[in-house]
Amino acid sequence: MDFTLSEEQQLFRDALAKFVQNEYAFEARRKIVASAQGWSGEVWARLAAMGALAVPFAEADGGLGGSGVDLMVVMQELGRGIAVEPYLATVVLGGGAVAAAGSPAQRQALLPGLIAGERQLALAYAEPGARHDLHDVQASARREGAGYVLSGRKATVLNGATADTLVVSARTAGARRDAQGVTLFLVARGAQGVSLSDYRTIDGLRAADLVLDGVRLGADAVLGPVDGGLAPLERAVDLGAAALCAEAVGVIEQLNALTLDYLRTRRQFGQPIGRFQALQHRAVDMLVHAEQVKSIVCLAASAAQSADERERRRAVSAAKSLVGRSGRAVAKEATQLHGGMGVTLELPAAHYAKRLTMIDFWLGDSDWHTERFAAASA
Amino acid sequence: MDLHYTPEEQAFRAEVREFVRARLPRDISAKVLGHRRLAKDDYVRWQKILHERGWIAAGWPVEHGGTGWSAVQQHIFDEECAAAGAPRLIPFGLNMVAPVIMQFGSEQQKRRYLPRILSSEDWWCQGYSEPGSGSDLASLKTRAVRQGDHYVVNGQKTWTTLAQYADMIFCLVRTDSSVKPQEGISFLLIDMHAPGVTVRPLYLYDEEHEVNEVFFDDVKVPLENLVGSEGKGWTYAKYLLGHERTGITGVGASKRELALLKEIAAQQAKDGRPLAADPVFRQRLAQVEIDLLALEMTLLRVLSSRTKPGPEASILKIKGTEVQQALTELMMDALGPLALPFSRTAIEEGGSAAPLAPDYAAPLAARYFNWRKTSIYGGSNEIQRNIIAQQVLGL
């Protein structure tokens, strides 16, 4: 039983932490978020140069062969700066799906460019009305000759508009909610029949709604087994959920630090407000949330790539469920303890609180993961 | 990071499991798993079995008769004992006064008391709280006045757990009223059979005789029963409380209770299906299970770090007792109206509390009420928050 990071992981963490602290200050981030693209190509190039984009990929694909724990280290530090760069979308979700299901030719075509920072991916699985269910797929892929014709809609595709290649789930067989009959496809952003509408999300990110209208694809666009795409999709989304939980740890720790700082410096009734017991106890509860979340995230990171499906589902869903509940609780407390300033855009705390709250809405919310945990624990 | 138990730890778990399976008396485990009240003899019998094996003092150093186990091994031992339905080890001697005697006691005290704690020959109880001194412990008033070769003790202690069985009590007493409250306190070992000691039961609201008031009326205590120096009792008391908070987490017992809760939820019905399949109940149960899983990881994170837990242990006390209480609440809720029938006889001797109720239902509402004590004792959870706010957060 060992919860410590290796020396290598500590060095990597420290380098990333320094980068985020120095180059991702509040003002810098504000400008990046307000830019047309919504994230910084310069920051992305630096992350590529540091090797961060290579972390989860196999050495054969040009990656570092990192574990779930290595990924956790990266995401925690990105969370500390509430970085908006498409690490989750490109590296973990899109890249994860390609790594989980891709043929050697597909991996070779996509991953080295991704690792070099030159290619963006996105994972388009969510549909209107499907909430968080991966198997609830209405988008259809009809066979035509050697290839397929795709039609349907995908909602809230994280960083969809800046992705060069989209990984899209579509139904090749069965009824709307069948587990069998889902297939993954690689779709170029510029392909005929693809339309993307880009928008801001309330937590500072970018997402897009995707409409596929008779998009013609060759047989080489099929990613993984025909009709058997749900398993690799679930693997990629689970890795994404574990990574998102690790990001939440960084967000929570930074938000707690900001709040403590405020409690120590803000004075009312002639003393720092942190002297009042009513506020002290709330600050302690924020710490208890942080420690519990850190613990469960270690478990999720360790099990995120487990071959044992049940163990993986149980650990990832436990973490995402707790992050949803505890993250919201911490965000609410931080806002309340900052008083009126907590509900303005002036202080960083508000931006952290928004991101932390909305993490619950990506990749399965607390209720959804609690139910999935119960099913895996029965 | 590697969250698996090592092969050595797994082998250790198997060894403990086999021993407990072979030696834990069935009548005792049936009581624990059925939430029945235990008698003195149930505790002592199991403690003597562990003593015979050399496993009674998991946390003690080897030179005093302890096991020398690592913190993780101690946790494994605790989990296996709890899972099998072993009674908890009464902590007042083993985990509370013993570490204080080892650290601050005289050679004579070590030689006299430690072996008798190991063998369960002495049953100890704790004399800290007083009617006017709960969370504000330093305001305590029980006085010890030196007279020749002994102290004369007068005053009253309260919340004294299982004092009705006790041979010895460790007490915080005031030996000097002229200094700051914390500086006038001493740590005294008192014979419960001495003339002038009276025990009066205080029934908890589940009608259990678990705690008592203890009165001292001109009780003579030999000077040699003072631990360490006069006036240093507060320091020793704080040392002891640090030991108490990690033990109070109760992860092993909570895992057992979760398993029992799932059995009950499978047997009870709602809307013509098992309660375990009811979406609302399922969510509530899963949330507690997730909290417990996170707590287990937090505990292991603390235990495996090899540094002695400091004020962070208060986090374990807060969260541990919250989980314990949530489990007792869900168990009571799982019964629906079957939680209502009450029978002391059923809780103490077995059977059901009403003709149409199952046996397992009888103790569960009482247990819910009894367990409210956990966020109050051992330093209330509000006191724990004060400790964290001051010592961890620096507020």
Cβ–Cβ under 8 Å, residues A206 and A257: no
| Tokens coding B165 | 């069985």
For B191, phi then psi, to 5°, come to: -75, 120
> What is the gyration radius of the CA atoms in chain B, in angstroms?
22
Query: Cβ distance A206 to A199 under 8 Å?
Result: yes
Q: Is A128 exposed, middle or buried (0-12, 13-18, 19+ CB in 10 A)?
A: exposed
Q: How far apart are CA A228 and CA A251, in angstroms?
A: 36
Q: What is the pLDDT of residues A114-160, one digit of tens each?
A: 999 999 999 999 999 999 999 999 999 999 999 999 999 999 999 99
The tens place of each residue's pLDDT in chain B, 395 residues long, gives 999 999 999 999 999 999 999 999 999 999 999 999 999 999 999 999 999 999 999 999 999 999 999 999 999 999 999 999 999 999 999 999 999 999 999 999 999 999 999 999 999 999 999 999 998 999 999 999 999 999 999 999 999 999 999 999 999 999 999 999 999 999 999 999 999 999 999 999 999 999 999 999 999 999 999 999 999 999 999 888 766 666 779 999 999 999 999 999 999 999 999 999 999 999 999 999 999 999 999 999 998 887 777 788 899 999 999 999 999 999 999 999 999 999 999 999 999 999 999 999 999 999 999 999 999 998 899 999 999 999 999 99
Closest CA to A321 of A373, A377, A269: A373
Which residues 354-383 of chain B have a CB within 8 Å of chain A? 382
Burial B88-103 (b: 16+ CB within 10 A, else e): bbbbbbbbbbbbbbbe
Count of CB atoms within 10 A of residue A227's CB?
A: 15
H or E element at residue A212: strand A206-217
Cα of A285 to nearest chain B Cα, Å: 8
Q: How far is CA B42 from the centre of its chain?
A: 16
- Please report the domains of chain A, with CATH numbers, ordered by start residue: 7-120 (1.10.540.10), 122-227 (2.40.110.10), 231-377 (1.20.140.10)
Distance, in Å, from the CA atom of A251 to the CA atom of A249, rounded to the nearest integer, reads 5
- Determine contact: B311 vs chain A, CB below 8 A: no
Other CB atoms within 10 Å distance of the CB of residue B284: 17
Closest CA to B128 of B155, B165, B88: B155
Contacts of B262 (CB under 8 A, 6+ apart): B276, B285
Identity of the residue in B294, B301, B393 whose CB atom sits nearest the CB atom of A322? B294
Per DSSP, A127 falls in state -
Select from B34, B385, B151, B379 the least CA-distant residue to A276. B385
Among the partner-chain residues B279, B293, B300, the one whose CB lies closest to the CB of A1 is B300
Phi and psi dihedrals of A279, rounded to 5?
Answer: -85, -35
Q: Say how far apart CA A343 and CA A37 lie, in whole Å.
A: 26
CATH, range B7-89: 1.10.540.10
* CATH superfamily assigned to domain B248-391: Butyryl-CoA Dehydrogenase, subunit A, domain 3 (1.20.140.10)
Which amino acid appears at position A106 of this protein? Answer: Q
Q: What is the CATH number of domain B123-231?
A: 2.40.110.10
Buried b (16+ CB within 10 A) or exposed e, A138-160: bbebeeeeebbbbbbbbbbbbbb
Tens digits of per-residue pLDDT, A51-70?
Answer: 999 999 999 999 999 999 99
If residue B190 lies in a helix (H) or strand (E), which one and from where to where? strand B185-191
> Which pLDDT band, with edges at 50, 70 and 90, does A369 fall under?
very high
Where does chain B hold its CATH 1.10.540.10 domain(s)? 7-89
| Side chain identity at residue A334, one-letter code | A
C-beta of residue B85 within 8 angstroms of C-beta of residue B79: no
- To test the contact with chain B by mutation, choose from A284, A297, A323 the residue with the greatest count of B C-beta atoms within 10 A, namely A284
Distance CA A290, CA A75 (A): 16
The set of long-range contacts for A36-42, using a CB threshold of 8 Å and a minimum separation of 24, is A37/A162, A37/A206, A38/A84, A38/A162, A38/A200, A38/A205, A38/A206, A39/A84, A39/A85, A39/A86, A39/A159, A39/A162, A39/A206, A40/A85
User: A370 and B286 in contact by Cβ < 8 A?
Assistant: yes
Q: Which residues contact B18 (CB under 8 A, 6 or more apart)?
A: none
User: In chain B, where does the domain assigned CATH 1.20.140.10 lie?
Assistant: 248-391
Residues of A with CB under 8 A from a CB of B: 1-6, 69, 260, 263-264, 274-275, 277, 280-281, 283-285, 287-288, 291-296, 298-299, 301-302, 318, 321-322, 325, 367, 370-371, 373-374, 377-378
Chain-centroid distance, C-alpha A339: 30
Q: How many interface pairs between A and B have CB atoms less than 8 angstroms apart?
A: 120
Which residues belong to CATH 2.40.110.10 in chain B?
Answer: 123-231
A301 Rama sector, left if φ>0, alpha if ψ -120 to 50, beta otherwise: alpha
The answer to whether residues A73 and A7 touch, using CB atoms and an 8 Å cutoff, is no
Q: Which residues of B are catalytic?
A: 244
